Amino acid sequence: MRLALLFSGQGGQTAAHWQQVQAGATGEWREVLRQVLPGIADQDAMVAPGILAKNKIAQPLIFAQQMLLWGSLQSHLPRPICAAGYSLGEMAACSAAGAFTAIEGIALCAERAAAMDGAVAGEHGMLAVLGLDDALVATMAAEAGLAVAIRNAPRHLVVAGPLAGIAAVADKFAAAGASRLVHLAVQTPSHTPLLAKAAVEFGKRLDGLPDRRLVFPVLSAIDATAVRTARPALDALARQICTPLDWAACLQAVREMQPDAVLEIGPGNALAKLFGELAPAIPVRACDDFRSVEGIVRWVEGCA
pTM score of the predicted model = 0.94
Within a domain: residue 77? yes
Q: What CATH number corresponds to the domain at position 296? A: 3.40.366.10
Residue 128, H or E segment: strand 124-130
Within a domain: residue 188? no
Whether residues 177 and 238 share a domain: the answer is no
Whether residues 153 and 221 share a domain: the answer is no
**Where in the sequence is the domain holding 209, given as residue range(s)?**
3-119+193-302
Tell me which residue of 42, 263, 289, 96 sits closest to 18, measured CA to CA.
42
Q: What pLDDT, on a 0 to 100 scale, did the predictor assign at position 18?
A: 86
Mean pLDDT of 36-61: 74
Mean pLDDT of 246-251: 98
Q: What pLDDT, on a 0 to 100 scale, did the predictor assign at position 48?
A: 60
pLDDT at residue 40 greater than cutoff 70: no
Within a domain: residue 243? yes
Whether residues 96 and 142 share a domain: the answer is no
Whether residues 41 and 108 share a domain: the answer is yes
Cα torsion 274, 71, 261, 82: sign? positive
Whether residues 244 and 111 share a domain: the answer is yes
Within a domain: residue 78? yes
Q: What pLDDT, on a 0 to 100 scale, did the predictor assign at position 293?
A: 96
Whether residues 27 and 172 share a domain: the answer is no
Which residues are bridge partners to 272 per DSSP? none
Whether residues 107 and 205 share a domain: the answer is yes
Whether residues 113 and 254 share a domain: the answer is yes
pLDDT bucket at 53, cuts 50 / 70 / 90: confident
Q: What pLDDT, on a 0 to 100 scale, did the predictor assign at position 37?
A: 82
Share of the chain above pLDDT 70, in %: 96
Give the side-chain half-sphere CA count within 13 A for 201.
16
pLDDT at residue 41 greater than cutoff 60: no
